[in-house]
Amino acid sequence: MLEQSQIESIAEELVQADRDRAVLPRLTARYPGMVVEDSYAIQKVWSDRRIENGARLVGHKIGLTSKVMQVATGITEPDYGVIHDDMVVESGSVLEFDRFSNVRIEVELAFVLSKPLVGPDTTIFDVLDATAYVVPALEVLNSHLELEGRTIVDTISDNAAMGAMVIGGRPVTIDQVDLPWVSAMLYRNETIEESGVAGAVLGNPAMGVAWLANKLAQHGQSLAAGEIILAGSFTRPMWVSKGDTVHADYGQLGSVTCRFA
């Protein structure tokens, strides 16, 4: 495991990389003894630094919860990151492409909580009871570490590659939708690139939220009422370029759109 001074130094590197839109060498190449707990400690220091500079914690993201995402990344277990207020934008927004590194898009559902969720024994039924509504969302991936050869240790340290979320469509309560069968088609510049159903996320995306509550409990943390939880992608990440328009059609749940300029 890493020394605290190393954890703080790596977190500062990642803060600076975000400011500079830089991509750093893999941490596992430089610190071969790193473990998952080191990664979450780095992520926590990174988040605390951003909060000290004015950001506000508004939620969490869950990553690598579907088989398609695990195959795409070569990583076989879920992870999580934090969402700050400056990462949340509305559908129809124009995003600055150069704000991000290794820019990709994922299709997800966002859960908004009306009650806190405290692990370690949170179940899917607790999640359904605590959810005010779910709403379509896109995640913008933003990776500050080189992608080739990365492991879950690298990804977690880099806030699970969370860059931004674009939220839109039609919010629905749990009783208005069959969560596993929510589907979406993802377009780039009017061409369908990906499609999928939300059941690809652990059979039901609410299971991802339960996993998160129980994982956070291992770190002495919990989910608060009002938090936004990105439950995990049910499509492969789609690469985008400067000038691209992205549109996700969720059928009866509406659509989410953004453009990169």
Domain that holds residue 157: 57-260
Q: Is residue 23 part of a domain?
A: no
Number of domains in the chain: 1
Separation in Å, CA 29 to CA 36, 39, 140: 15, 14, 26
Q: Is residue 30 part of a domain?
A: no
Q: Is residue 33 part of a domain?
A: no
Q: Is residue 169 part of a domain?
A: yes
Q: Measure the CA dihedral 28/45/101/110, to 10°.
A: 110
- In this prediction, residue 16 carries a pLDDT of 93
Q: Is residue 43 part of a domain?
A: no
Q: Which residue has the tokens 């699970």?
A: 160
Q: Is residue 46 part of a domain?
A: no
Question: What residues contact 9, with CB distance under 8 A and at least 6 apart?
Answer: none
What's 164's domain CATH number? 3.90.850.10
Q: Is residue 34 part of a domain?
A: no
Residues of the chain with pLDDT under 50: none
Question: In the 3-class helix/strand/coil scheme, how is the chain assigned residue by residue?
Answer: CCCHHHHHHHHHHHHHHHHHCCCECCHHHHCCCCCHHHHHHHHHHHHHHHHHCCCCEEEEEEECCEHHHHHHHCCCCCEEEEEEHHHEEECCEEECHHHCCCCEEEEEEEEEECCCECCCCCCHHHHHHHEEEEEEEEEEECCCECCCCCCHHHHHHCHHHEEEEEECCCCECHHHCCHHHCEEEEEECCEEEEEEEHHHECCCHHHHHHHHHHHHHHCCCCECCCCEEECCCCCCCEECCCCCEEEEECHHHCEEEEEEC
Q: What's the pLDDT tens digit per position in 125-149? A: 999 999 999 999 999 999 999 998 8
Q: Is residue 183 part of a domain?
A: yes
Question: What residues contact 25, with CB distance under 8 A and at least 6 apart?
Answer: 145, 146
